[in-house]
């Protein structure tokens, strides 16, 4: 087992007795590796909860049993100091000083980035001044190694007067040793008893005190780095040879400076930004094609075999045309969603994502937003729900309000199956790059629509506070393939888990609604027209006709309020795609039946104009009820959330009607 250094320079060993009770809180600056370390400590044994009296979430859990007797652990929101300037920082302080359930934290793990010691140790010194028991966890040590530097943890520990341990949040190295120190400190604090007193909030540091603290940290960092001892804490998964596990995973500071000259350039940087984002969204379309074909063929085979087994059975029809068809219609697009999450995780792990925020700070400022809005807006491409929660880090109330307001306009992953289907219809038989370019245009177009909305709405929102943007830029790192793939897989799995239940329930209900009461009719069109769904939706057909649709597309649009992906499932159920050509996959069968579908006046139902209108509708309309609920919580009431729901859907409808009717007027069907 590797050693760690305590405040006296002694070597600690794993004790045999259980630690005393009390919550251990992780505290650190944003991007210090705090949450990644928390995930290693707890594994899957944690939950995210809402802090009482606030809209900010934090995580609580228990350390994994493989690290010894479990210890309660709390991951607090990132904070730069004990003087809060945002809702996240206020919750971090409330959680460690006077949590309603745990009380004051028994011990604080101060997470410090080895490449940012001078700044991050300011928070550590404030924690000590407040009276907390502190253990310092140093992350990013592998970056120092690649620069040919080493950090003497004994020097840090001796001068700070607290135990210090090196950890690798990406591979889990040093976690066991960290918990060993934590147990030792808790035991020592128990021996002292109440003599130490409860931690108390500190008085605000003056500018002179901050400057003196920063100077002291810089000098300490210089001494610890200059010592270059033979012993340094390893950064691998355990053992002396663990360093090789992360060798070559970063980029030197010199290369970081060279890359930043281009990627942060006012002109070339923006060009690179749009090329990178355009390339990512284009790859979603063409790179996923082979995987999509495999998923499609698998579900087609299953549906075909079910119908062959019992072609006249209602249960077989339910399984094939209901459950299999609707689930397959969405899951076939999961490879595209995985590539989206993979690209975002790659950019995040490489260090480019933080630079993107600084790069777009000036353009966003012209819209009434700021650099802090970028990460929530980019997260909105995955899902608006966590993106709205991410907006809590925005210190300006106006910027946060505007960010929350336009977030539903970002094209989330739930829209991706719809876009992929509709673009597949428009670009059938064309080169894949055309569909990819169109998809990139849709995603960039959503940014443009959001920008227009921010400018228009921002005129009516008065600024009550000054905005500032402060962000530490990490060095560029070569992303770990395993780490990036794990993040992408976890996010994709969560998407499927969230989308699966409503799709399954919808499949049962919608199949029954489109099959009964005249399920015995051989004419599929007549059976559909006389079904329960037809009887309910047909009176609403005049609403959808100006959009270029009929009651079938209308009921799909209405069902999308449960989940946007359900629009694709509804078409699959309506057109009974499992009954199609045996040689065609389900996706090919659905596209074929869309081309064959006729409107009540005999014209094709799906045309260039009507499909383009559907794309525009899904770009703007707010159909996710989960987003509306979260928006009400983040806005602090239902008034703005309901206004979003009404305005976005009304504007989407008006624009689509104008677009479709305008194209028809110019002879574009």
Query: How far is Cα 62 from Cα 74, in angstroms, rounded to an integer?
Result: 8
User: Cβ(587)–Cβ(333) under 8 Å?
Assistant: no
DSSP 203: P
Which of 444, 455, 265 has the alpha carbon at shortest distance from 365? 455
pLDDT single digits (tens) 340-370: 788 878 887 787 877 777 777 777 777 777 7
Strands, E assignment, 320-359: none
Could you check whether the bond before residue 517 is cis, i.e. omega within 30 degrees of 0? Answer: yes
- Which pLDDT does position 458 carry in this prediction? 81
Tell me what the mean pLDDT of segment 130-152 comes to. Answer: 84
- The residue with greater pLDDT, 661 or 536, is 661
pLDDT single digits (tens) 382-392: 778 777 877 77
% residues pLDDT > 90 (the chain)? 12
Please, which pLDDT band fits residue 414 given cuts at 50, 70 and 90?
confident
- The residue with greater pLDDT, 216 or 102, is 216
- The residue with greater pLDDT, 127 or 21, is 127
| Order of strands across the sheet that contains 72-75 | 46-50, 57-62, 72-75, 24-28, 107-113, 134-139, 164-166
15: left (phi over 0), alpha (psi -120 to 50) or beta: beta
- Which pLDDT does position 46 carry in this prediction? 55
Q: In sequence order, what are the residues at sequence separation of 6 or more whose Cβ sits closer than 8 angstroms to the Cβ of residue 479?
A: 345, 346, 349, 350
Chain centre to alpha carbon of residue 571: 29
What number of residues does the chain have? 669
Please, which pLDDT band fits residue 619 given cuts at 50, 70 and 90?
very high
- Which pLDDT does position 20 carry in this prediction? 40
Most confident of 200-214, 223-237, 432-446: 200-214
Q: In sequence order, what are the residues at sequence separation of 6 or more whose Cβ sits closer than 8 angstroms to the Cβ of residue 459?
A: none
Chain centre to alpha carbon of residue 174: 27
- Local structure of 110: helix, strand or coil: strand
- Which pLDDT does position 231 carry in this prediction? 38
- Local structure of 523: helix, strand or coil: coil
DSSP 206: P
Which two tokens mark 283? 């790859």
pLDDT single digits (tens) 107-139: 999 999 888 888 899 999 999 999 999 999 998
- Which pLDDT does position 247 carry in this prediction? 31
Query: How far is Cα 361 from Cα 371, in angstroms, rounded to an integer?
Result: 4
Of 318-322, 343-347, 494-498, 580-584, the one with minimum mean pLDDT is: 580-584
In DSSP terms, 250 is beta-bridged to 477
Instruction: Report helix angle 352-359 to 268-286, nearest 10.
Output: 130
Query: How far is Cα 641 from Cα 648, in angstroms, rounded to an integer?
Result: 11
SS (H, E, C) 412-477: CHHHHHHHHHHHHHHCCCCCHHHHHHHHHHHHHHHHHHHHHHHHHHHCCCCCCCCCCCCCCCCCCE
Please, which pLDDT band fits residue 94 given cuts at 50, 70 and 90?
confident
pTM: 0.64
pLDDT single digits (tens) 400-411: 888 899 999 988
pLDDT single digits (tens) 238-296: 332 223 223 333 445 677 778 888 888 888 888 888 888 777 777 776 777 788 778 87
- Which pLDDT does position 196 carry in this prediction? 59
Indicate whether 229 pLDDT > 70: no
Which of 1, 5, 2, 3 has the alpha carbon at shortest distance from 154? 5
Q: Mind giving me the DSSP string for 9-43?
A: SPBP---SSPPPS--EEEEE-TTSSHHHHHHHHHT
User: Could you identify the residue written with the tokens 């650099």?
Assistant: 371
Q: Mind giving me the DSSP string for 45-102?
A: -EEEEEPTTSS-EEEEEE--GGGSS--EEEEPPP-SSSS--SHHHHHHHHHHHHBTTT
User: Cβ(233)–Cβ(165) under 8 Å?
Assistant: yes
Which two tokens mark 541? 């057909």
| Dihedral, 317, 323, 325, 330 alpha carbons, nearest 10 | 170
In DSSP terms, 561 is beta-bridged to none
User: Cβ(21)–Cβ(101) under 8 Å?
Assistant: no
Indicate whether 152 pLDDT > 90: no
- Which pLDDT does position 618 carry in this prediction? 94
User: Cβ(360)–Cβ(370) under 8 Å?
Assistant: no
Which two tokens mark 336? 């595209």
Indicate whether 51 pLDDT > 60: no
Task: Count Cα atoms within 13 angstroms, Cβ side, for 612.
Answer: 17
- The residue with greater pLDDT, 644 or 10, is 644
Query: How far is Cα 307 from Cα 12, in angstroms, rounded to an integer?
Result: 67
pLDDT single digits (tens) 477-520: 778 787 788 778 877 887 777 767 777 777 777 778 777 887 77
% residues pLDDT > 70 (the chain)? 81
- Which pLDDT does position 614 carry in this prediction? 94
User: Cβ(37)–Cβ(25) under 8 Å?
Assistant: no
Please, which pLDDT band fits residue 617 given cuts at 50, 70 and 90?
very high
Q: In sequence order, what are the residues at sequence separation of 6 or more whose Cβ sits closer than 8 angstroms to the Cβ of residue 306?
A: 316, 319, 320, 324, 578
Q: In sequence order, what are the residues at sequence separation of 6 or more whose Cβ sits closer than 8 angstroms to the Cβ of residue 161?
A: 7, 128
């Amino acid at each position: 087992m590797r050693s760690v250094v305590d405040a006296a320079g002694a070597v600690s060993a794993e004790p045999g007795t259980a630690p005393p009770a009390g919550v251990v809180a992780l505290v650190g600056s944003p991007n210090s590796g705090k949450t990644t370390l928390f995930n290693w400590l707890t594994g899957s044994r944690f939950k995210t909860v809402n802090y009482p009296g606030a809209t900010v979430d934090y995580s609580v859990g228990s350390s994994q049993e493989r690290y010894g007797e479990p210890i309660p652990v709390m991951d607090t929101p990132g904070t730069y100091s004990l003087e809060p300037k945002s809702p996240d920082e206020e919750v971090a302080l409330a959680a460690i000083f006077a949590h309603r359930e745990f009380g004051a934290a028994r011990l604080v793990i101060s997470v410090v980035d080895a490449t940012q010691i001078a700044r991050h140790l300011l928070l550590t010194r404030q924690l000590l001044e407040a009276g907390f028991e502190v253990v310092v966890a140093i992350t990013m040590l592998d970056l120092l190694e690649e620069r040919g530097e080493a950090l003497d943890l004994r020097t840090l520990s001796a001068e700070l007067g607290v135990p210090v341990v090196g950890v690798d949040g990406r591979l889990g190295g040093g976690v066991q040793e960290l918990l060993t120190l934590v147990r030792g400190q808790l035991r020592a604090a128990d021996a002292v008893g109440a003599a130490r007193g409860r931690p108390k909030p500190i008085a605000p540091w003056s500018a002179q005190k901050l400057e003196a603290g920063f100077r002291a940290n810089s000098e300490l960092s210089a001494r610890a780095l200059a010592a270059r001892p033979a012993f340094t804490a390893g950064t691998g998964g355990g053992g002396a040879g663990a360093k090789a596990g992360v060798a070559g995973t970063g980029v030197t500071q010199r290369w970081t400076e060279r890359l930043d000259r281009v990627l942060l350039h006012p002109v070339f940087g923006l060009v690179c930004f749009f090329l990178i984002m355009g390339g990512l969204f284009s790859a979603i379309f063409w790179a996923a094609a082979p995987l999509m074909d495999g998923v499609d063929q698998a579900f087609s085979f299953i549906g075909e075999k079910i119908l062959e087994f019992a072609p006249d059975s209602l249960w077989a029809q339910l399984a094939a045309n209901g459950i299999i068809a609707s689930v397959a219609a969405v899951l076939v697009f999961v490879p595209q969603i995985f590539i989206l999450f993979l690209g975002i995780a790659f950019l995040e792990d490489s260090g480019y994502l933080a630079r993107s925020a600084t790069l777009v700070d000036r353009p966003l400022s012209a819209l009434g937003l700021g650099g802090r809005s970028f990460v929530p807006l980019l997260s909105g491409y995955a899902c608006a729900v966590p993106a709205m929660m991410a907006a809590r880090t925005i210190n300006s109330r106006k910027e946060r309000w505007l960010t929350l307001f336009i977030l539903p306009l970002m094209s989330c992953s739930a829209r991706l199956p719809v876009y992929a289907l509709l673009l597949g219809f428009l670009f059938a038989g064309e080169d894949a790059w055309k569909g990819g370019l169109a998809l990139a245009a849709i995603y960039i177009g959503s940014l443009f629509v959001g920008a227009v909305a921010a400018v228009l709405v921002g005129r009516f929102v008065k600024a009550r506070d000054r905005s500032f943007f402060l962000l530490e830029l990490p060095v560029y790192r070569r992303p770990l393939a395993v780490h990036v793939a794990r993040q992408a897989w976890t996010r994709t799995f969560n998407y499927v888990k969230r989308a699966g239940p409503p799709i399954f329930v919808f499949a049962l209900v919608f199949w029954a609604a489109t099959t009964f009461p005249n399920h015995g009719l051989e004419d599929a069109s007549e059976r559909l027209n006389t079904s329960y769904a037809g009887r309910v939706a047909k009176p609403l057909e005049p609403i959808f006709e100006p959009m270029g649709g009929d009651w079938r597309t209308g009921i799909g649009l209405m069902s999308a309020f449960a989940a946007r992906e359900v629009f694709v499932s509804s078409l699959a159920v309506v057109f009974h795609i499992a009954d199609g050509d045996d040689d065609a996959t389900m996706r090919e069968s659905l596209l074929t039946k869309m081309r064959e579908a006729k409107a009540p006046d005999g014209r094709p139902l799906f045309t260039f104009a009507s499909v383009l209108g559907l794309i525009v509708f899904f770009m703007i309309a707010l159909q996710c009820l989960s987003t509306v609920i979260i928006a009400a919580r983040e806005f602090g009431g239902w008034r703005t959330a309901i206004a979003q729901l009404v305005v976005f859907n009304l504007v989407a409808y008006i624009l689509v009607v104008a677009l479709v009717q305008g194209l028809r007027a110019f002879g574009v069907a």
